[in-house]
Amino acid sequence: MYTLLYGLYKYMVQKDEFCVLILGLDNAGKTTYLEAAKTKFTKNYKEMHPSKITTTVGLNIGKIDVAGIRLNFWDLGGQVELQSLWDKYYAESHALIYIVDTSDRERIPDSKETFDKMISSESLTGVPLLVLANKQDIPDCMGVRDVKPIFNKNAHLIGRRDCMVMPVSALNGDGINEGIMWLVDCIKRNIDIRPPRDQDNT
């Protein structure tokens, strides 16, 4: 009887789980963004102070429950030598967040080249894409109007997937909610193509 009740309880409370990749060059603000998302959507979560956030070597994992589903974030290191590991995660992902450091104009071409290589992977075909123009809190940063045309140059690689470019400041939290809710809507629309993770394998 206990097993039956526990099984019913688990069925009632468990949420569909989806995996979201957070990609971008090193120092783009990926881990800061993940911390801001966890702070916004997780009750009583104690945010890590920005001064304590260090360069990601490998993988940071975080999760939030929102709109009846669970998002598992995989924040991957952006150094050149770590980018070769990204494609190991593509097939299991349900959405992509690509973060651009809009305060570092010199590295925009590198970011665009990395983006094009990533988005051309067949394993990511049809996966919703959120491009975040980060560090909007820094004076003289590039705005969305500047960033969008650069990353749209190879629109054929983006294809027919859901795609959005949004301004954000991971440091002060501006734009976090809007981006996450947009992703949730896209993930739910895309559920026939990319169903939730198998609960027994998580």
Q: Is 63 annotated as a binding residue?
A: no
Q: Is 31 annotated as a binding residue?
A: yes
For residue 11, is pLDDT > 60? no
Percent of the chain with pLDDT over 70: 86
pLDDT band of residue 202 (cuts 50, 70, 90) is very low
**Is the residue at 131 inside a domain?**
yes
- What is the sign of the dihedral through the CA atoms of 54, 59, 65 and 69? positive
What domain count does the chain have?
A: 1
Residue 125's nearest CA partner among 153, 152, 90, 100 is 90
- CA atoms within a 13 Å half-sphere pointing along the CA-CB vector of 84: 2
**Is the residue at 6 inside a domain?**
no
**Is the residue at 128 inside a domain?**
yes
Q: What is the pLDDT of residue 197?
A: 82
47: containing domain: 12-190
Q: For the segment 68-92, what is each residue's pLDDT rounded down to a tens digit?
A: 999 999 999 999 888 989 999 999 9
Q: What is the spatial order of strands in the sheet that 69-76 belongs to?
A: 59-66, 69-76, 16-23, 95-101, 129-134, 163-167
CA dist., res. 168 & res. 99, Å (int): 9
**Is the residue at 80 inside a domain?**
yes
Neighbour tally for 146: CB within 10 Å: 13
Q: Is 28 annotated as a binding residue?
A: yes
Active site includes 199? no
Say how many residues make up the chain: 202
**Is the residue at 2 inside a domain?**
no
pLDDT band of residue 180 (cuts 50, 70, 90) is very high
Q: For the segment 161-174, what is each residue's pLDDT rounded down to a tens digit?
A: 999 999 999 999 99
**Is the residue at 3 inside a domain?**
no
**Is the residue at 166 inside a domain?**
yes
Residue 98's nearest CA partner among 130, 55, 61, 126 is 130
CA dist., res. 85 & res. 106, Å (int): 25
CATH of residue 85's domain is 3.40.50.300
**Is the residue at 7 inside a domain?**
no
Q: What is the pLDDT of residue 157?
A: 87
